[in-house]
């Protein structure tokens, strides 16, 4: 490769680094280094504040190790922590011989704030599983739950979208008689099939139980 083509390729890599750094924002650093001159290796860098480097900065021991891992290829999606400020970086490195130069093209993304956000989101989204506080019936069919639900839906001779409240209650009544509530997480599946919320399903079940209880009380009073 002649010097002119080598320069064109280096200019292209510099522009590519600029595009990547601007697309992913100020936490994304893109650094191109000339590995033949480790004492002043950095020849192009965008968002250098991420690692605190500038053009002409040397390779540190961490960089040398990562580049050695990449060799004539890639080392993708690895984690590193900057000792001087404890920044957590997600990085990828490509090492390639281009003309007379051996270059590394490295992307470093500062994930420190994202890591904290991840922690707080986990804390916020941590919830106890809601237990179905409902009577468990004996399961009288070996079919998978979705098949059982579909069989019950067929009892109503019209599309689910046209179901009335009475139709939905009829379906749930049939499912209860088959012991579907014995199956774990059955209520969300029933709700999805009927196009209602699970709380609506619970309300229908309570209505059925109240109706059944009233009927039993009347029979006992006779």
Instruction: CATH number of the domain at 85, please.
Output: 3.30.450.20
Closest by CA to 176, choosing from 212, 210, 207, 136, is 136
User: Do 106 and 18 sit in the same domain of this protein?
Assistant: yes
Which phi and psi (to 5°) does residue 25 adopt? 90, -175
pLDDT tens column, 47-89: 999 999 999 999 887 777 777 776 667 888 887 778 777 788 9
Please state the pTM of the whole predicted model: 0.55
User: Do 97 and 184 sit in the same domain of this protein?
Assistant: no
Q: Domain boundary at 57, 92, 112, which? A: 112
pLDDT tens column, 91-106: 999 998 888 888 999 9
User: Do 159 and 77 sit in the same domain of this protein?
Assistant: no
For the chain, the domain total comes to 2
Closest by CA to 140, choosing from 181, 194, 184, 201, is 181
Q: Which domain holds residue 22?
A: 3-112
User: Do 23 and 64 sit in the same domain of this protein?
Assistant: yes
State the residue for tokens 């490769």.
1
Domain-located, residue 128? no
How far lies 138's CA from each of 9, 188, 213, in Å?
72, 19, 19
Closest by CA to 117, choosing from 109, 108, 125, is 125
pLDDT tens column, 114-163: 888 877 887 787 665 554 444 434 444 556 788 888 889 989 988 888 88
Domain-located, residue 25? yes
Check pLDDT > 80 for residue 108.
Answer: yes
User: Do 79 and 7 sit in the same domain of this protein?
Assistant: yes
Domain-located, residue 160? yes
User: Do 88 and 17 sit in the same domain of this protein?
Assistant: yes
> Distance (Å, rounded) from C-alpha 217 to C-alpha 32?
82
Domain-located, residue 133? no
Closest by CA to 209, choosing from 176, 186, 171, 166, is 176
Which phi and psi (to 5°) does residue 76 adopt? -110, 140
> Distance (Å, rounded) from C-alpha 140 to C-alpha 144?
12
User: Do 47 and 95 sit in the same domain of this protein?
Assistant: yes
Domain-located, residue 205? yes
């Amino acid at each position: 490769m002649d010097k002119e083509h080598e320069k064109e390729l280096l200019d292209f890599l510099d522009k590519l680094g600029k595009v990547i750094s601007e697309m992913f924002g100020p936490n994304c650093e893109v650094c191109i280094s000339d590995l033949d001159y480790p004492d002043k290796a950095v020849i192009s860098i965008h968002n250098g504040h991420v690692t605190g480097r500038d053009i002409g900065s040397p390779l540190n021991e961490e960089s040398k190790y990562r580049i050695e891992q990449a060799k004539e290829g890639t080392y993708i999606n690895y984690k590193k922590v900057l000792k001087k400020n404890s920044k957590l970086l997600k990085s990828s490195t490509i090492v390639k011989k281009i003309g007379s130069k051996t270059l590394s093209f490295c992307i470093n993304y500062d994930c420190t704030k994202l890591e904290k956000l991840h922690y707080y989101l986990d804390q916020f989204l941590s919830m106890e599983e809601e237990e179905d506080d409902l009577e468990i019936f004996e399961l009288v069919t070996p079919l998978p739950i979705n098949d059982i639900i579909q069989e019950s839906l067929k009892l109503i001779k019209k599309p689910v979208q046209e179901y009335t409240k009475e139709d939905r209650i009829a379906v749930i009544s049939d499912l209860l008689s088959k012991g579907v509530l014995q199956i774990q997480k059955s209520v969300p599946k029933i709700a999805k099939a009927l196009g209602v919320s699970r709380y609506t399903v619970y309300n229908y079940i309570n209505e059925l139980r109240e109706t059944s209880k009233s009927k039993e009380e009347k029979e006992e009073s006779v």
